[in-house]
Amino acid sequence: MKEKRWTGRHSLLLSRVMVWFFFILLVLCDITGYWLVNWLCANVIGNRGLLGGMVLLGTMYLCSIPAYVTLWDLHHLLRNIGQERVFVPQNVASLRRISWCCVLVALICMVAAVVEWPSLGMVSLAAGFMALIVRVVKNVFEEAITMKDELDFTV
């Protein structure tokens, strides 16, 4: 009897499916943003008035821009990995953009936290921490490319 195992190909497929899932979710949030914020303010987080709703809606729409860029770069990164092109400059560029997108979300949420929504400070911290992690992975990829190039010239 053949044992079923979780392979790298399965993991790559799951990652690609999740990127598309989050893309669809992001599009739905952008389409329904106004009603979503109204519902959240009325039923979950309490009414904060016009300023609170506008800040939350603006934060959501501003954060969706770097989210689209991140999903686009993740799509390209996963495509390259699927084609066994892992340590290439394009992947480093994608990771760099993803890191800066996380920084941008952290800054947007930090401003929203100071202006009206202190709880978005936690989102800001999480996005900043994610930027750090992605930046470290980007640096590892960059160093691996340098080492690979040196090895290719040696052999």
**What average pLDDT does the structure give for the chain?**
93
Q: How many domains does the chain have?
A: 1
Q: Note whether residue 1 is domain-resident.
A: no
Model confidence pLDDT, tens digit, residues 54-100: 999 999 999 999 999 999 999 999 999 999 999 999 999 999 999 99
- Domain presence at residue 92: yes
Name the 3-class secondary structure at 118: coil
Show the domain range for 137. 8-154
Asked if residue 82 belongs to a domain, the reply is: yes
Could you tell me if residue 3 is inside a domain? Answer: no
Answer yes or no: are the C-beta atoms of 116 and 48 closer than 8 Å.
yes
Q: What is the pTM of this model?
A: 0.89
Note whether 33 and 92 are within 8 A (CB): no
